[in-house]
Structure 1
Amino acid sequence: MDGYQSSLNSTSTPTQLPLNTTVHINATIKPFSVFDGCEHYIEAILFDLTFQTINVIVGIPANLLVIAILIHNQKEASTSDIFLGCLAFMDAYFGVMTPLTFFNLYLWHSKEVWSAIKFSFGVKDTSGPLFLSCICLDRFVAVLFPIMFGQLKHVKYRVFLTVVVFCLTIAYSTAKMVGGLPNFEKVFTGEILATFTWMMVCNTSILWALKKSRGPSKDEMHPMKKKAFKMVLSILCIIVFNYLPLVILFPFEDHYSPDVFRCYVQPAGFAFLNISSTIQPLVYLSRLDKLPFFPEACIKKFSSCFSTENKKSGPTQNPTA
């Protein structure tokens, strides 16, 4: 993820002369800037930073709550919980880095801090799509190949996939932090296209299989299958909202001018990916029947207030709609 790819997420470095150059230089060396040429085109960067601010205020507490709930419910853990926990941890880490981004943009202007921030961008770029792909794979095998799923239910297979994702994430993030690699942005474009396609195929296949399992009446789907249907549908909505803008915009990089792509297209596209750090935990929490650590009276009061608001807004709706 690169909130501001060339400006804030750029993997490129300013052009430097070879160490053995003997050319006489009259020009002053351009000072380091995290905006990297987008100083006069910061609207899309601020748009991305606004979403990242939401991640700090809402996303960090939500992701920490998800981790706490997963630990609390580990005796009744599902096979996907290890992926959910790692995803929540990575999203919380990315949110924690956002205040450093603000300080470095407007106060420190430190190249070293910027390197650490770029590493966190790489973590967000890679870990989110890959862990979501693992969740989709787990659900895909469970629904369409239940016998095979029973044979592969042991936690060691999930641990192996988790280690692979962490290795890929560290490799990508380190390369992004170092910068200077030719056409490195195309690596992310290829990754996002591949994972998006995979997740769409998985989730649509699962939804189709669950829908076909209904009886003559639409209400005859088994309660567990209904729950799985809602979960997969929510993941599909997340995928479309957070990843589709990148899939639409990034493959056409060559059709934009370099400044437009770096300063507008990339930050705006990454903003939708970044806000997934808040949307994903909130969607998970909304699917829970009961929230641990919260007094039941508070939950009931909140639910009653919400239902009261719905009743108040009900009469204003068109009855024929």
Structure 2
Amino acid sequence: MIWCYMQKSPAVGGAHYDWRTPTTPFKPLLPAPAFSSTMFNTTLSPITNLYVNFTTLSSSGGTPPWYLFPVCVVAPYGFIFYFGVKVFNLAVGTPCNVLVIWQIATKKSDASTSDIFIFNLAILDTYFCLMTPIEMVNRLLLSDSRIWYFQRFAYGIKDVAPLFLVCICLDRYMAVVHPVVFTGIRDNKIRIGISVVVWGSILAYSLTKSILGVMSVNEIFSGVILFAFAVMVFCNISVIWVLRRSVAGKEEMHPVKKKAFKMVLIILAIIVVNYLPPVALMPFASYYSFVAFRCQISVSVFSIMDLSCSIEPLLYITKMERVDGRCCGRSVSKKPDDGKV
């Protein structure tokens, strides 16, 4: 999914390949090889790079199999996991993200400076979750190339959504590690301006991916994931180190620092669960067989990253200091912490 997709390997492939969003939906590069009359095309270059593209059934023009490649029939479990994640995101991620949006929008006090970034991230995740029915119908039944433009746009949104996580981490980092500087930049207008810039970058990336295809943005995507992962890990470890050192020998952490500590742990959990797998697994892409990589590993890695649409709001909800109103027929209320971060 990331930079290593560009590694040259006769077993795996030499190009970045987002199996979720084909670069030219269902248009064959060459006639299908003898072992497959369905939707699997390969072209071997002199340097043995393997390029994969989707095609329709060469004879009947039917839809692709739900496990994507005919060779994946022996290992369809990655795709089962993928579709399971899609359904989970729709059923759980959508209402949770809506709850986060509503809670932040109606919060009148005890607001965190990071709430603006969390609010924007929840909007992106809600949109991605709501695209699930359209994607599943098109992927499994229609195979309409026009709908793929919208699907690629949605995945472009998801690809660079971690930029808002980076903003959250940097905000927490400045608040805890450099509190004096942070005091001078607490104005939310600054964060609104940053959000506008991030939104512009996300929309530009997504439109490019939608119109020009996956290959047009693969280097940008690789850079964003590496940058986001490195910055988030650095910021969160730095914050945890400072907070733990500040309470050494004390019985209780100050409410303000405790709130910041909770936020940092949430972000760190998201990083480990959703973004560590691709960073850890993909450098070894050249060692995998085609079936293992295309049918199991890459599918699972994409699914784990997509799962962040549900994990992010769920973790945020668990740290909510107060949720006024009713959720699932029950009112939820907790005593808020003192102070703001």
For normalisation by structure 1, the TM-score amounts to: 0.80
| 1:51 matches 2:63 | no
Deviation at 1:105, TM superposition (A): 1.9
Q: Secondary structure at the match of 1:220?
A: coil
User: Aligned to 1:83, which of 117, 124, 127?
Assistant: 117
User: Aligned to 2:137, which of 103, 121, 124?
Assistant: 103
1:21 corresponding residue in structure 2: none
Q: Contact 1:11–1:184 (CA<8 Å) still a contact in 2?
A: no
Q: Secondary structure at the match of 2:324?
A: coil
Distance 1:68 1:142, change over 3 A: same
Q: Which amino acid aligns with 1:275?
A: L
Deviation at 1:204, TM superposition (A): 0.5
| CA deviations over 1:126-164 (Å, ceiling 9, x no partner) | 11x110000000000011111111111112221222122
| 1:287 matches 2:322 | no
1:17-96 alignment, distance < 5 Å: 31=61, 38-41=69-72, 42-96=76-130
1:128-277 alignment, distance < 5 Å: 129-180=162-213, 182=215, 184-217=217-250, 219-256=251-288, 260-277=292-309
Deviation at 1:47, TM superposition (A): 1.2
| CA deviations over 1:194-250 (Å, ceiling 9, x no partner) | 211110000000000001111523x23212212221221121111100100111123
2:147 corresponding residue in structure 1: 113
Q: Which amino acid aligns with 1:108?
A: L
Q: Contact 2:63–2:142 (CA<8 Å) still a contact in 1?
A: no
Q: Which amino acid aligns with 1:247?
A: V
Higher helix fraction (1 or 2): 1
Deviation at 1:165, TM superposition (A): 1.4
1:9 corresponding residue in structure 2: 21
1:20 corresponding residue in structure 2: none
Higher strand fraction (1 or 2): 2
Aligned residues: 288
2:310 corresponding residue in structure 1: 278
Structure 2: unaligned runs, 5 residues or longer: 3-16, 31-57, 335-341
Quick one: distance in 2 between partners of 1:164 and 1:211? Answer: 33
Quick one: distance in 1 between partners of 2:316 and 2:181? Answer: 26
Q: Over aligned residue pairs, what C-alpha RMSD do you find? A: 3.0
Quick one: distance in 2 between partners of 1:266 and 1:174? Answer: 23
Distance 1:276 1:55, change over 3 A: same
Q: Secondary structure at the match of 1:292?
A: coil
Q: Which amino acid aligns with 2:273?
A: F
Quick one: distance in 1 between partners of 2:153 and 2:215? Answer: 18
For normalisation by structure 2, the TM-score amounts to: 0.75
Choose between structure 1 and 2 for higher RCO, CA contacts under 8 A separated by at least 6 residues.
1
Distance 1:181 1:95, change over 3 A: closer
Q: Which amino acid aligns with 2:256?
A: M
Quick one: distance in 2 between partners of 1:260 and 1:179? Answer: 28
Quick one: distance in 2 between partners of 1:190 and 1:62? Answer: 29
Quick one: distance in 2 between partners of 1:256 and 1:108? Answer: 32
Q: Contact 1:123–1:169 (CA<8 Å) still a contact in 2?
A: yes
Q: Contact 1:59–1:92 (CA<8 Å) still a contact in 2?
A: yes
Q: Contact 2:97–2:125 (CA<8 Å) still a contact in 1?
A: yes
